[in-house]
Chains A and B, each alone.
Chain A
Amino acid sequence: MTALLEARGVVKRFGGLTAVDGVDISVGAGEMVGLIGPNGSGKTTLFDCLSRVLDIDGGLIEFDGTDIGRHRPHDVARLGMSRTFQLIRVYRDLSVAENMHLSIQWGSLGVPQLFARTDAAARRRADELLDFLLLGRLRHERAGNLSGGQRRLLEIGMSLMSEPRLVLLDEATSGVNPTLAADIADRLRAVNSERQVAFLLVEHNVQFVADLCERVVVLDQGAVLAEGTPGEVTQDPAVIEAYFGDPGDDTAGDDRVGNSPAGAGDGTAP
C-alpha cells in the first residue's frame, strides 16, 4: 500500500522534555490506523506535529510525497489532511450548519468566492454529511447547545467537509456513551469504505480501535513501543507492561482501569 502519510524520526521537545522521540509512522491511502498508548505517551503531541500545529525539532513528515515539515496548518489542510481535537473545537455560537460551512476546502476559493455567501453545493454537501452523521435535524441548532457526543459528531463532520484524504481523529469517543460510540464507529467505517478516506485514530478505547483498524501503533514515553495488528499488540508483553506497569509495583497507574489492551474485550472507555 502506498503511504499517504509518512513520518520518519519525528522529534518534539518542550524544554528538557522530549514528548515525541524519533517516531516513525505511516498511513496508507484508504487505511485505518490506530494510535494508542498510556496517558502522556505523546499521542496528541504527535498529532499536533503531523498537522503542523506544532513545529518539529527533527525528522521528516511527508504527505502524498510532499514534505510538509515547514508547511502551515492551513496548507496541510488544503493538501487533504484534516483533523479533530481531543478537546472539541466547534464554533459554539454558530449553528451546526454554519460550522460545517466554515470547514470547506478553502484552497479552492478565489477572491470572488471569498466575498460571496456559502454556495448551494457546499450547503448540499453539509446537509448530506449532517444526515449521514445523524445530525440532520439539528442543522439549525446552535453548536453550543449540542451534547458532548453530538459535538464530537459535528467535529467529525467538519473534518470530512473539505473532502480530505486523511483524517486525524483525536479521541473520537471520549465522553461519548457506548451507543453513540458504536454509531461513530459505523459512520467512520462507512466513510472509509465508501469514500476511501484514510484515518489515523488516537484512542483510549482499545476495543474501538481494535474493531476499526487493521494496524495499531503503540506509543510509550514518546517512542514507538509496538506495531502490528490489534491482536498482536494487545498480546505484546511490552505493551501490557506499559499499560499495567511492573506487576510487582503496587503503585502502578490509573491505566489499569478500563483502557488497557487487556480491556479490549469489554470495550470500556476511561
Chain B
Amino acid sequence: MGEAFSLALQLVTSGNADLYEIVGLSLRVSLSATMFACLIGLPVGAWVAISRFRGRGAVLVLMNALMGLPPVVVGLLVYLHLSRSGPLGFLGLLYTPSAMIIAQTILIAPIVAALSRQVLEDLHTEYAEQFRSLCLSRVQTITALLWDARYSLLTVGLAGFGRAVAEVGAVMIVGGNIDHLTRVMTTAIALETSKGDLALALALGLVLLVIALGVNAAVQSLRMSARRQAYV
C-alpha cells in the first residue's frame, strides 16, 4: 500500500506522458458520455415526472431496474452492433473512443433519467398548482422544472459520471484497451493487475480516485459560486 502511494505520487509528478494520455482519454470519454446521457436522460426523466399515463408504474420500475445494467452486457450489445458483421459495422466505430462513449452513454442514461425523474417529480408536486394557474405548456413546465432543479441535477450528472469513469466491463469490450488509442484508467488498471504489477495497478487506482475527487470538487465550487451570484 505504501509502495502504491509513493508510486502514484511519482507517476503524477514525473509528468509521465502515457499517464496523462490515459487520464485525458478517461475524462474525455466519461465526460462526453455524461453529457450525452444528460441530453437524453433529463428530458425523459422530466417528461415521466410530470406525466400521468397508464402503465406509468411499470415504466418507473423499468427505469429504476435499468440503473443496474451490467457494464459487460452493455459492452457486449454495443460490440454486436458496432462489429463489422453487425448492423452498424459500416461506421467503423468499434475499437475507437466513440464506441466507448456510446457504451457509457447507454450505461448511464437510465441513471440520469431515473434519478432526475425523482428529483423533478418532488419539485413538480410543490409547484403543480402554480404551473396550472399560469397555464404553462408541457414544454414550458419541463423547462421551468429543469432550470429550477439545476443544482440537484448536477449531483445526478455526477452520479452518472462516477459510474461511467469507474466501469471497466463495457469499455474493455468495445474499446479493446488499445495502447495510445482506447486505453483508459480502468482498463489500464485491469491490465497491470493481469501483469501481476499490483503496486502500479493500485497507484493508477489512486490517481483515478483523485481525478474523481477533482471533478466533484470542480462541480461543487461551480455550484457554490453560482449560488453566491444568485444572492447578490
Do these two chains really belong together in a complex? no
- The chain A residues found within 8 Å of chain B, CB to CB, are none
